[in-house]
Structure 1
Amino acid sequence: MLTSLSIKNYALIDAMQVDFNTGFSIITGETGAGKSILLGGLSLILGKRADLSSLKDASEKCIIEAVFDVSKYQLKALFEAEDLDYDANTIIRREILPSGKSRAFVNDTPVNLSSLQVLGERLIDIHSQHQTMQLTSNDFQFQVIDALGGNEDLLQNYKVELKVYKRLQKERDELLVFKAEAIKEHDYNTFLLNELNEANLIDGELESLEEEYETLNNIEGVKEKLSEAYQLLDDEQIGVIASLTTLKNVLQKLEGYSTKYKTLFERANSSLIELDDLFAEVNGFQEDLEADPNRLEIVDAKLKLLHSLMQKHVATTVLELIEIRDRLEDKVSVTENLDETLQQKDKEIASQQEVLNKFAKQIHDNRVKVIPELKFQLEALLSSLGMPNAQFKIEAHFEKEFFVNGKDRLTFLFSANKGGSFNELKKAASGGELSRIMLSIKSILAKYIQLPTMMFDEIDTGVSGEISNKMGDIMLEMSKTMQVFSITHLPQIAAKGHAHFKVFKEDVDNKTQTNLIKLNPDERIVEIAQMLGGKEMSSSAIAHAKELLN
């Protein structure tokens, strides 16, 4: 609810600060006194765009600040979504600078107008005869029926499951597109994969094959060098082994003279053991080495194949070829298993459809169940508001398609006259009739959900005394569960308020300015008496005013 409003330097308002209470508040004032200015300032708080013409003094900034008690509105999630600090007493401030720039703050946090509008829609609903098109909106009509039907939790669950359903459908569509493309590439990918599989790729194979090729291709030279090494090691005259054996024997004889010579002997003996091992290995290589033209041809062919594949796939190692092969395997496998994947996806979609249908059917049944009650309440209220022949034809048709709020297509038709044809609200109802219909709907909604502060702006224009009296009763009844304002020119409505505020103009220092004050009981009698009989109040007007207030 709106607890206070402060306006500085806006239009004809120099400075104004007023506090509000719960219940039904009345705002009155002569034509041109500035009631529209008050609504204009409030609209800025709700996110309306501003311009320099709003400034009373173009050299000073305009500041409009409103305090709201939002403790009953369950807005913590909204504040979190908009990245705002939640406070049960939320302060919204709007500033219009002389430069023309505008700034907005929620609990001292800067916000853009879109965030302000989102929040404002949950705080105040300003309703006038010119703002009834919401009533003709299919979304709003669903909102009314769902409020009566208690569908809030069901709709929330439905929307969660609908997101899953749409995701699954998107995945299936992507699979179909992928399949169409994959089929085109499948044969070529299969050819490439077979080619790589036939190569029998082994990581590190290239290096070992190149080494083997070098050996086989240069076998005579290798044999010659191995033979030379064999001779250097084993020759009886100059062989390294024979010389080292002689050296070992010499040093062994020195060992008996001193322990320090023992180390020399051990090193010579160790070297001889290593040389014997080296000799045996050289001898083994020499005996094993044979020319093998067939093996050379095989190695050469494999090397040429590997280099060809590396060039073809722009790879630098066999490991990269193996990775390319594995990716091709995945592509070919996915393509070959796409039909199975699609079948599985279809099963998931069918299962999700069952979940959605379950929620949609519950939502539909709840709607169908409450439509007669809504129709009855609306027609009864409108009859009391001077529309005794008003009739509604409301039907929820269960369709095959999944919509954002279920599977219903709603027809919300109206006839104002007995025997008249039914038509859409925007075609069948006049502005005044739409205003009374909206009042009736909002009064019904107030019984089922927590509505924001409602501000009715002269919706009683052109209404007779008895009907206005009933309108006042409806707004008074609504105020039991919510904050209601009525800007009115009818004394029958003004007398029903819990609090009464007056908008008026006055001249201060040769300048006209608008102000708003809360009337005390005596001032209220005078105001209502003037509404009844004009400035020249008669004793009967005063008596009538007192009677209305009592």
Structure 2
Amino acid sequence: MLTNLSIQNYALINQLSIDFTNGLSIITGETGAGKSILLGALGLVLGNRADLSSLKDTDKKCIVEAQFFVENYRLQDFFKDHDLDYEDKTIIRREILPSGKSRAFINDTPVTLSALNALKSKLMDVHSQHQTLQLSDTDFQFSVIDALAKNQQKIASYKRGVKKYNSLQKELKELQNNQENANQQYEYNLHLFKELEEAKLQIDEQETLEETLDKLNNIEDIKLNLSEALLTAVNEEVGAQSLLHLLENNLQKISSFSKEYEDLSNRISSIKIELDDIVSELEDANENVEFNPNELEEINDRLQLIYNLQKKHQVSSINELMDIYEQLSDKVVQVENASENINKKQAEIDDVAKKLDEVSSMITNARQKAIPSLDKKLEFLLSELGMPNARFSIKITPTNSYLSNGKDELEFLFSANKGGSFGELKKVASGGELSRIMLSIKKILSENTQLPTIIFDEIDTGVSGEVSNKIAKIMQEMSQYMQVITITHLPQIASKGNMHYKVFKEEIKGVTASNLKLLSYDDRIVEIAEMLSGKDVSESALIHAKELLN
């Protein structure tokens, strides 16, 4: 609900601050007095584009500030999603600087125009004879039916389901694309995988094979040096063993004479024992050194296989080949298991689709039940508004498609004249008829859902006195559920407001300015009398004005 509007340096307004209340508020004034300026200021603070022509004094900034009481609008999630501080009394401010730069704030937090526009539809609904194209919008028509059908929670559940359904469909498509791409590489990857698998590579195998190969390639040199080493060790005359044996005997003979000789004897004995072990191992090694051409060929073949695999995969170690083996294994398994994954995903989709079908069926049934009631209410209200022959043909057709708000297609047709054919609203209804249809729909909606503040901008143009009384009555009834602000030229409507504001022009120091004031009871009598008879107010006009107010 709009509670206050403050305007500085905008169009013809120097400075203005006015409070609004709930119920029905009336705004009147002569043509050109500035009623459209008020709507322009409200549009500006709610996200419309601005330019320097909006400034009354181009050397000063323009400020438009609106305060709304939003406790009943359930906007906490909106504020959270836009990282804004929520307040029951929310203040929106728009500034236009002399430089042309524009700034916007919600509860003193800077926001973008897109954020303001997103909030706009939740706070205010402006209607004029030129703003009734919404009636031909299918989503709007569905919203009217669903309000009567109490479908809001079911549609919210349906939309969550559709979001999940679309997400799963996307995941399924990705799996199928991945499978298709993987299938194209599958045979090649499988060949590479089996090739590595058959190689049965072992960690550090390459280093061991290369060492063995080096040994086999130098077998003659190894054999010669081992033989010479043995000869040097075991020669009976000058071999290392014989020399150490003599040395050991010499030191043992004198070891008893001092601790020093005993230690030397023991050390020589230790060396002799170590040499004996070395000689034993040399003998074994010499016996085992044998040239085996078959082993050499096998090692060469094995190493060549490893080198070829490394070259093929552009790596330099067995560890890297084993990493590639694991990667190929994953790719092969992915393709081989793809069908199973795709089937699982399809099962998920089928499960969500089943639930969506159940919810959409409930939505459709509720709509079918609500349509006769909507027909009856609309035709009654339009009859009251001077359209006794108005008829609607509203039909729901279930489809197999998951649409934004269900699985239904809607045909919303209208006929204004008795015996006339039905057609689309925008094609068969005049501007005045569309205004009255919109008023009737908004009246029905106000009783079935929480609507924001609604402003009717002279939608009563061209109607008769009796119809204007009916319009006023409908607006009064709507104002029991929501805040209604009406800009009107008709005294019958002006007299029905809880509050009455007048837009007027005044000249200050040779400069024309627009202003707005709240009228007292006596002021309202005069204003309504002027609306009845013009500036020269007659006594009968004053009496009539009092009668209307009472």
* 1:144 and 1:445 in contact (8 A); partners too: yes
Deviation of 1:271 after TM superposition, in Å, equals 5.7
| Correspondence for 1:458 | 458
Task: Summarize the Cα distance change of 1:219–1:30 in structure 2 as closer, same or farther, 3 Å threshold.
Answer: same
Compare 229-238 and 117-126 and name the one that shifted more.
229-238
Compare 75-84 and 2-11 and name the one that shifted more.
75-84
| Correspondence for 2:190 | 190
Task: Summarize the Cα distance change of 1:546–1:193 in structure 2 as closer, same or farther, 3 Å threshold.
Answer: same
| Correspondence for 1:220 | 220
Matched AA of 1:448 = N
Structure 2 counterparts to residues 86-235 of structure 1, below 5 A: 86-235=86-235
State how far apart, in whole Å, the 2-side matches of 1:67 and 1:264 are. Answer: 109
| Correspondence for 2:379 | 379
SS of 2:71's partner is coil
The reply on whether 1:438 has 2:431 as its aligned counterpart is no
* 2:23 and 2:498 in contact (8 A); partners too: yes
| Correspondence for 1:517 | 517
Between the two proteins, the alignment pairs up a number of residues equal to 549
Deviation of 1:140 after TM superposition, in Å, equals 0.8
| Correspondence for 2:402 | 402
Task: Summarize the Cα distance change of 1:254–1:543 in structure 2 as closer, same or farther, 3 Å threshold.
Answer: farther
* 1:255 and 1:265 in contact (8 A); partners too: no
SS of 1:447's partner is helix
Deviation of 1:519 after TM superposition, in Å, equals 1.0
* 2:254 and 2:262 in contact (8 A); partners too: no
Compare 356-365 and 199-208 and name the one that shifted more.
199-208
Deviation of 1:355 after TM superposition, in Å, equals 1.5
Deviation of 1:330 after TM superposition, in Å, equals 2.6
| Correspondence for 1:471 | 471
State how far apart, in whole Å, the 2-side matches of 1:153 and 1:243 are. Answer: 107
Deviation of 1:159 after TM superposition, in Å, equals 1.5
Deviations 1:228-286 (A, max 9, x none): 4444555556655666677777499669845x988877776666655555444444333
Deviation of 1:403 after TM superposition, in Å, equals 1.0
TM-score by length of 1: 0.94
Compare 191-200 and 1-10 and name the one that shifted more.
191-200
State how far apart, in whole Å, the 1-side matches of 2:206 and 2:518 are. Answer: 96
SS of 1:410's partner is strand
Matched AA of 1:289 = V
| Correspondence for 1:16 | 16
* 1:252 and 1:265 in contact (8 A); partners too: no
State how far apart, in whole Å, the 2-side matches of 1:456 and 1:335 are. Answer: 64
The reply on whether 1:391 has 2:391 as its aligned counterpart is yes
Task: Summarize the Cα distance change of 1:230–1:382 in structure 2 as closer, same or farther, 3 Å threshold.
Answer: farther
Deviations 1:387-422 (A, max 9, x none): 111111111111011112111111111111111111
State how far apart, in whole Å, the 2-side matches of 1:322 and 1:47 are. Answer: 62
SS of 1:72's partner is helix
State how far apart, in whole Å, the 2-side matches of 1:495 and 1:243 are. Answer: 139
| Correspondence for 1:423 | 423
Identity across the alignment (%): 54
Matched AA of 1:426 = K
Task: Summarize the Cα distance change of 1:279–1:494 in structure 2 as closer, same or farther, 3 Å threshold.
Answer: farther
* 1:70 and 1:89 in contact (8 A); partners too: yes
SS of 1:394's partner is strand
Task: Summarize the Cα distance change of 1:499–1:221 in structure 2 as closer, same or farther, 3 Å threshold.
Answer: same
Deviation of 1:498 after TM superposition, in Å, equals 0.8
SS of 2:4's partner is strand
Matched AA of 1:444 = I
| Correspondence for 1:74 | 74
Matched AA of 1:452 = P
SS of 2:169's partner is helix
Compare 431-440 and 172-181 and name the one that shifted more.
172-181
State how far apart, in whole Å, the 1-side matches of 2:257 and 2:120 are. Answer: 110
State how far apart, in whole Å, the 1-side matches of 2:261 and 2:153 are. Answer: 99
Compare 145-154 and 90-99 and name the one that shifted more.
145-154
Task: Summarize the Cα distance change of 1:314–1:119 in structure 2 as closer, same or farther, 3 Å threshold.
Answer: same
Structure 2 counterparts to residues 281-360 of structure 1, below 5 A: 281-360=281-360
| Correspondence for 1:448 | 448
Deviations 1:37-63 (A, max 9, x none): 110011001100001111101111111
* 1:476 and 1:496 in contact (8 A); partners too: yes
SS of 2:72's partner is coil
* 1:45 and 1:120 in contact (8 A); partners too: no
SS of 2:18's partner is strand
Task: Summarize the Cα distance change of 1:25–1:279 in structure 2 as closer, same or farther, 3 Å threshold.
Answer: farther
SS of 2:500's partner is strand
Deviations 1:318-366 (A, max 9, x none): 1222222222233233333434443333333222211111111111111
Matched AA of 1:70 = V
Compare 85-94 and 181-190 and name the one that shifted more.
181-190
SS of 1:190's partner is helix
SS of 2:461's partner is coil
State how far apart, in whole Å, the 1-side matches of 2:467 and 2:207 are. Answer: 100
* 2:414 and 2:425 in contact (8 A); partners too: yes
State how far apart, in whole Å, the 1-side matches of 2:310 and 2:32 are. Answer: 88
SS of 2:131's partner is coil
Matched AA of 1:149 = A
State how far apart, in whole Å, the 1-side matches of 2:257 and 2:521 are. Answer: 135
State how far apart, in whole Å, the 2-side matches of 1:413 and 1:495 are. Answer: 35
Deviation of 1:95 after TM superposition, in Å, equals 0.7
RMSD of Structure 2 on Structure 1 (CA): 2.3
Deviation of 1:114 after TM superposition, in Å, equals 0.6
* 2:413 and 2:422 in contact (8 A); partners too: yes
Matched AA of 2:183 = I
State how far apart, in whole Å, the 2-side matches of 1:515 and 1:271 are. Answer: 121
Deviations 1:412-462 (A, max 9, x none): 111111111111111121111111111111111111211111111111111
State how far apart, in whole Å, the 2-side matches of 1:248 and 1:454 are. Answer: 121
* 2:129 and 2:458 in contact (8 A); partners too: yes
Compare 241-250 and 406-415 and name the one that shifted more.
241-250
Task: Summarize the Cα distance change of 1:520–1:298 in structure 2 as closer, same or farther, 3 Å threshold.
Answer: same
Task: Summarize the Cα distance change of 1:528–1:207 in structure 2 as closer, same or farther, 3 Å threshold.
Answer: same
* 2:254 and 2:261 in contact (8 A); partners too: no
| Correspondence for 1:504 | 504
Matched AA of 1:379 = E
Matched AA of 2:441 = I
State how far apart, in whole Å, the 2-side matches of 1:268 and 1:60 are. Answer: 111
State how far apart, in whole Å, the 1-side matches of 2:115 and 2:316 are. Answer: 56
Deviations 1:508-539 (A, max 9, x none): 01000001111111111111111111111122
- 5+ residue gaps, structure 2: none
State how far apart, in whole Å, the 1-side matches of 2:246 and 2:193 are. Answer: 65
Task: Summarize the Cα distance change of 1:33–1:285 in structure 2 as closer, same or farther, 3 Å threshold.
Answer: same
State how far apart, in whole Å, the 2-side matches of 1:267 and 1:546 are. Answer: 138
The reply on whether 1:540 has 2:543 as its aligned counterpart is no
State how far apart, in whole Å, the 1-side matches of 2:372 and 2:247 are. Answer: 122
SS of 2:432's partner is helix
Task: Summarize the Cα distance change of 1:28–1:211 in structure 2 as closer, same or farther, 3 Å threshold.
Answer: same
